[in-house]
Amino acid sequence: MAAVSPLEPASFLARAKRIVVKLGSALLVGADGAPRRAWLETLAEDLAALHARADVLIVSSGAIAMGRGPIGYGTRALRLEESQAAAAVGQIALAAEWATVLGAQGMRAAQVLLTVRDTEERRAYLNARTTLAELLRARCVPVINENDTIATNEIRYGDNDRLAARVATMISADCLVLFSDVDGLYTAPPADDPDARLIESVPRLTEEIYAMAGDAGSALSRGGMKTKLDAARIATEAGVAMAIASGRVDHPLTALEAGGRATWFHPRTDPVTARKVWISGSLQAAGSLTLDDGAVAAVQRGRSLLPAGVRAVSGDFCRGDAVRLVDSEGREIGRGLVAYDASDARLIAGQKTHSLPAIVGARARATMVHRDDMALHFAPPEAP
Ligand code: GLU
């Protein structure tokens, strides 16, 4: 193992005790639809070295890519139900491939298929977490994918980058590595701009960083750079370091740990509570509340959001749903579980607390979003 100083980002990997490694379809499956066995064997050797000193979880795409040939779809574009059917065929071969390559290195693979619902509903989330914890205790290597076959259009992850980030926060990993065919975040999409530079280290996700991401993805993978930054937000806010690195080399983990090309996103150093991690990583905000400047300042000082500070309400949500909290310029500053249904929220937005009973009667509550039910993102970039 290469010696790394604590200041070198690659040390996030060297020091990690629980690591999630996400692999994109294009790495796992060749253009012929067959697994890239030789490369997978080099990865499995790296994983074995890691597993000797840490818990390891894999988030693996590739079910659709491996199933589309055998089911007879070839390489054409697929409708949703065709993708789901291809995944049903391909997932068997994908899981078998992992069992083989991990097994050859003395590791036991355990297949786990998750849907958004399993990570968005608190009870299902806690259930999935308990099972994963037991698999790790038993020294298995969970091999996780989206349960494509039963996920519906509305409740799909749509990409495994975010699923991987959700899994990493769910089981309190300290490091998440996204391997794909890109080696990191560039100052501009490299295909459009020959002067684009790789950014090696992102201490904090800012709007400038988001502006650098294009929407590019390869033919086989659905996750572009934007979804990787979404994953970075979910992970880093929960205290998980994240790397985007190329899997287009043999022994990709050894290369990364030796300081290979990558973008490292630093974890937040004041990780929030487990409940807030769950709120902040929610993917399916049911609506949004626009806060006035005073309310933005108040919630950033740790106060609850009062109805008086809400300027606008959008979406159709129920009490207890996750909503986006946005400032007057439309920037998302955080997420929270809202204490009112959307129709009541519209009635009381901007109203003083003492006037609430007259408007919504017994449904009146002092706060629109209680501070314990709120998770703020990193503070927006400081003014120059
Ligand atoms: N779950 C999909 C599959 O296994 C891939 C999703 C993704 O690549 O993000 O084929």
Atom of ligand 1 nearest to the CA of 163: 9
| pLDDT grade for 71, boundaries at 50, 70 and 90 | very high
What is the best residue among 75, 160, 167, 228 to mutate for testing ligand 1's pocket, by most ligand atoms within 8 Å of CB? Answer: 160
Neighbours of 179 (CB within 10 A): 24
Comparing 231 with 378, which gets the higher pLDDT?
A: 231
The β-bridge partners of 143 are 58, 111
**What is residue 183's three-state secondary structure?**
coil
In a 13 Å sphere around the CA of 234, the CA atoms on its Cβ side amount to: 26
Give the residue among 39, 54, 40, 58 at the shortest CA–CA distance from 1: 54
Neighbours of 81 (CB within 10 A): 10
Q: What is the pLDDT of residue 272?
A: 63
Range 284-309 average pLDDT: 93
Atom of ligand 1 nearest to the CA of 66: 10
Cα–Cα distance measured from residue 368 to residue 310, given in angstroms and rounded to the nearest whole number:
8
Atom of ligand 1 nearest to the CA of 160: 9
Cα–Cα distance measured from residue 201 to residue 232, given in angstroms and rounded to the nearest whole number:
12
350-373 confidence digits (pLDDT tens): 999 889 988 988 888 889 999 888
Least confident of 31-45, 57-71, 276-290, 313-327: 276-290
Contacts of 267 (CB under 8 A, 6+ apart): 12, 174, 235, 236, 238, 239, 240, 241, 242
Domains (range + CATH), the chain: 10-271 (3.40.1160.10), 285-376 (2.30.130.10)
213-258 confidence digits (pLDDT tens): 865 444 334 458 888 998 999 999 888 999 999 999 999 999 999 9
Cα–Cα distance measured from residue 44 to residue 165, given in angstroms and rounded to the nearest whole number:
21
The yes-or-no verdict on residue 380 having pLDDT over 60 is: no
Tokens of 368: 């629109």
Pocket of ligand 1 (CB under 6 A): 24-25, 61-65, 87, 145-146, 148, 159-160, 221-223
Cα–Cα distance measured from residue 249 to residue 245, given in angstroms and rounded to the nearest whole number:
10
**What is residue 143's three-state secondary structure?**
strand
Cα–Cα distance measured from residue 278 to residue 128, given in angstroms and rounded to the nearest whole number:
13
Q: What is the pLDDT of residue 277?
A: 75
The yes-or-no verdict on residue 4 having pLDDT over 70 is: no
pTM: 0.78
Cα–Cα distance measured from residue 21 to residue 59, given in angstroms and rounded to the nearest whole number:
6
User: How far does the centroid of ligand 1 lie from the alpha carbon of residue 146, in Å?
Assistant: 7
153-164 confidence digits (pLDDT tens): 766 666 899 999
Atom of ligand 1 nearest to the CA of 64: 10
Percent share of the chain, pLDDT over 90: 59
What is the best residue among 29, 61, 75 to mutate for testing ligand 1's pocket, by most ligand atoms within 8 Å of CB? Answer: 61
Contacts of 269 (CB under 8 A, 6+ apart): 239
Atom of ligand 1 nearest to the CA of 227: 9
Atom 9 of ligand 1, residue of closest alpha carbon: 159
Degrees (nearest 5) of the Cα angle 224, 228, 231? 145
Look over the chain and give the mean of its residue pLDDT values, rounded to a whole number: 88
Overall size of the chain counted in residues: 384
The yes-or-no verdict on residue 281 having pLDDT over 80 is: no
User: How far does the centroid of ligand 1 lie from the alpha carbon of residue 238, in Å?
Assistant: 24
Atom of ligand 1 nearest to the CA of 146: 1
Range 122-139 average pLDDT: 89
Atom 5 of ligand 1, residue of closest alpha carbon: 61
The yes-or-no verdict on residue 122 having pLDDT over 90 is: no
311-345 confidence digits (pLDDT tens): 999 999 988 888 999 999 999 999 999 999 999 99
User: How far does the centroid of ligand 1 lie from the alpha carbon of residue 370, in Å?
Assistant: 36
Cα–Cα distance measured from residue 44 to residue 55, given in angstroms and rounded to the nearest whole number:
14
Atom 6 of ligand 1, residue of closest alpha carbon: 159
CA 317 to mean position of chain CA atoms? 23
Q: Amino acid letter at 171? A: I
Q: What is the pLDDT of residue 164?
A: 95
Cα–Cα distance measured from residue 27 to residue 62, given in angstroms and rounded to the nearest whole number:
9
Cα–Cα distance measured from residue 2 to residue 14, given in angstroms and rounded to the nearest whole number:
9
User: How far does the centroid of ligand 1 lie from the alpha carbon of residue 108, in Å?
Assistant: 22
Cα–Cα distance measured from residue 373 to residue 320, given in angstroms and rounded to the nearest whole number:
9
